């Protein structure tokens, strides 16, 4: 026989799963609304292929009045690309390839 506690635990688990799914869908549609509102019809393409955080930061930079905000964004993007370049270079093999190893 199933106890009331087990029924409550199962219902609680199902409620948390439904909540997570609804939260994920809400985030998807919120991002879609943001891109279409800010970028128009092109926003659909940006939504599919773009990074949400980068496009939101870019939109804030473009609408800002201060020069400092644009420079901070530029420095941030350069630092990020430098980190990616270092990570890619460190993962590459060093030295000449060996033709005789099997």
Domain residues of the chain, as ranges? 1-50, 51-92
pLDDT band at 86 (very low <50, low <70, confident <90, very high): low
Pinpoint the alpha helices (H) of the chain.
Answer: 4-39, 42-49, 52-63, 67-91
More confident call, 74 vs 12? 12
3-state secondary structure of 92: coil
The reported pTM is 0.45
Q: Cα–chain-centroid distance for residue 63? A: 21
Cα torsion 73, 77, 79, 81 to 10°: value is 180
Please give the structure tokens belonging to residue 54. 């980068």
pLDDT 10s digits, 27-79: 888 888 887 887 788 888 877 777 777 777 777 777 777 777 777 777 777 77
């Amino acid at each position: 026989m199933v106890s009331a506690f087990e029924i409550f635990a199962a219902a609680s688990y199902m409620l948390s799963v439904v909540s997570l799914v609804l939260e994920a869908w809400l985030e998807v549609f919120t991002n879609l609304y943001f891109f279409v509102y800010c970028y128009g019809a092109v926003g659909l393409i940006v939504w599919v292929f773009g990074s949400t955080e980068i496009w939101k930061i870019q939109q804030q930079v473009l609408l800002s009045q201060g020069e400092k905000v644009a420079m901070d964004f530029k420095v941030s993007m350069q630092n990020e690309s430098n980190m990616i370049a270092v990570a890619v270079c460190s993962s590459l093999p060093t030295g000449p390839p060996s033709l005789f190893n099997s």
